[in-house]
């Protein structure tokens, strides 16, 4: 089962394309991608999806369900980036109509399934949805099944158990915060002022695909000005993803997973290897308030004991992280906290770095240099 979480870059297109080639060619390369998860609509997270799909068949996309004003906000935020936005290009078409843009890609797998996750949708997960000791049938080699995701059901690998039941062993669980208080209404009002049109009429019209397309193709200056008018205290919908075992490590059940070296060249990280194989990515989620941390914990807290690699929200921005989030991880701490370094915006922020080190985490910074790549592997035993 192969998956990708976000696929984009700003100012480093060649490096991103090189990473796609590394992933899709050579010994051990996958023949297809089962799932591409896109956390949100910023250009640096999605604009190289077209190159990925050109290189390898993609079976399905999992994306957050967001409104037209928020997609326009994401585009407006990207207008001053080092990666110019072509109004007729793929990223612009993705902002206009996400489903249409993904469907129109020349996908070798045919028409990919597209799953949109509404904010606040909690995946189904029963308390007894774990494997107990002695549950797994023999032979185990024929006992596992890959189960694709639904809106309310996480993707999973299941094992057949005694008594004819199946239970998940590994999950890809997503969640989009419901409590994201962005300023879409104020953005629409500011945009109406820039366009010299009635704000109420624009608010009614802006969800139409034709209206969004016209704004993207013809009104980049107005979009940018409207964004600048409301850019303070602005939060964006972002799809978070846990990939890891269902069962807590060390519970004595019959499914065990642990982190292992992947066999290639490893970074020489000190004390960065423990048994926890899970990975948790947060995209640009604004995990910066008590209410959002509570919402985050309701979905992911049960998985935190399994997380060995945690990707900081918004590249380590101090505005997206309440350090209390790091206190939700109980000792022993995750092996590492990963942050993609973006010097132009000062990420990860020194305050974020201090919060990470204060709590004894190991901070890994990944840059545009391939030598900074962080790679880990896991082994599961039934």
Residue 364 predicted with pLDDT over 60: yes
Residue 114 predicted with pLDDT over 50: yes
Q: What is the mean pLDDT of residues 288-295?
A: 92
Q: What is the DSSP letter of 110?
A: S
Residue 174: beta bridge partners? Answer: 241
Q: Alpha carbon of 5 to those of 61, 84, 113, 129, 131: distances in Å?
A: 10, 23, 16, 25, 27
pLDDT number for residue 144:
75
Q: What is the DSSP string of 207-254?
A: TSHHHHHHHHHH-HHHHHHHHHHH-TT-----EEEEEEESSPTTS--S
pLDDT number for residue 142:
46
pLDDT number for residue 218:
93
Q: 26 in helix, strand or coil?
A: coil
Across the chain, what does the average pLDDT equal? Answer: 83
Q: Which residue has the higher pLDDT, 2 or 108?
A: 2
Q: Which residue has the higher pLDDT, 133 or 116?
A: 116
What does the pLDDT look like over 140-178, one tens digit per residue? Answer: 444 678 888 888 888 888 877 666 677 788 899 999 998
Q: What is the mean pLDDT of residues 209-213?
A: 95
Q: What is the mean pLDDT of residues 183-195?
A: 90
Q: Please report which confidence band the pLDDT of residue 37 belongs to, taking 50, 70 and 90 as the band edges.
A: very high
Lowest mean pLDDT among 203-207, 219-223, 267-271: 267-271
What does the pLDDT look like over 52-104, one tens digit per residue? Answer: 999 999 999 999 998 999 899 889 988 866 566 787 799 999 999 999 999 99
What does the pLDDT look like over 311-329, one tens digit per residue? Answer: 999 888 888 999 999 999 8
pLDDT number for residue 334:
63
Q: Please report which confidence band the pLDDT of residue 196 belongs to, taking 50, 70 and 90 as the band edges.
A: very high
Q: What is the DSSP letter of 270?
A: T
The Cα 335–Cα 367 span in angstroms is 19
Residue 370 predicted with pLDDT over 50: yes
């Amino acid at each position: 089962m192969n998956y990708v979480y976000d696929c984009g870059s700003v100012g480093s297109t060649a490096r991103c394309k090189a990473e796609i080639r590394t992933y899709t060619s050579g010994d051990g390369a996958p023949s297809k991608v089962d799932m591409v998860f896109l956390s949100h609509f910023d250009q640096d997270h999605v604009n190289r999806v077209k190159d990925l799909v050109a290189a390898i068949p993609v079976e399905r996309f999992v994306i957050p369900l967001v409104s037209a004003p928020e997609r326009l906000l994401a585009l407006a935020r990207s207008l001053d980036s080092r990666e110019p936005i072509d109004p007729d290009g793929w990223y612009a078409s993705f902002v206009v109509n996400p489903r249409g843009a993904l469907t129109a890609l020349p996908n070798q797998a045919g028409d990919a399934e597209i799953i949109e996750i509404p904010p606040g949708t909690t995946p189904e997960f029963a308390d007894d949805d774990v494997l107990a000791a002695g549950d797994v049938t023999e032979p185990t080699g024929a006992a596992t099944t890959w189960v694709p995701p639904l809106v309310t059901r996480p993707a999973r690998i299941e094992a057949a158990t005694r008594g004819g039941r199946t239970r998940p062993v590994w999950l890809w669980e997503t969640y989009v915060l419901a409590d994201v208080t962005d300023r879409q209404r104020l953005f629409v009002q500011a945009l109406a002022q820039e366009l010299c049109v009635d704000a109420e009429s624009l608010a009614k019209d802006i969800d139409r695909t034709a209206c969004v397309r016209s704004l993207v193709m013809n009104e980049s200056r107005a979009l940018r000005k409207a964004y600048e008018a409301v850019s303070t205290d602005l939060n964006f919908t972002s799809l978070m993803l846990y990939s890891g075992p269902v069962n807590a490590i060390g519970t004595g059940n019959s499914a065990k997973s642990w982190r292992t070296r992947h066999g290639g060249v490893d970074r020489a990280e000190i004390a960065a290897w423990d048994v926890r194989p899970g990975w948790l990515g947060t995209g640009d989620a604004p995990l910066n308030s008590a209410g959002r941390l509570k919402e985050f914990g309701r979905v992911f807290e049960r998985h935190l004991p399994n997380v060995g690699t945690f990707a900081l929200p918004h590249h380590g921005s101090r505005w997206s992280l309440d350090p209390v989030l790091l206190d939700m991880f109980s000792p022993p701490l995750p092996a590492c906290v990963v942050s993609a370094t973006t010097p132009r915006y000062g990420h990860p922020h020194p305050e974020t770095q201090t919060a990470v080190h204060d709590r004894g985490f190991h901070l890994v910074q990944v840059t545009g240099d391939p030598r900074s790549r962080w790679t880990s592997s896991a082994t599961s035993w039934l």
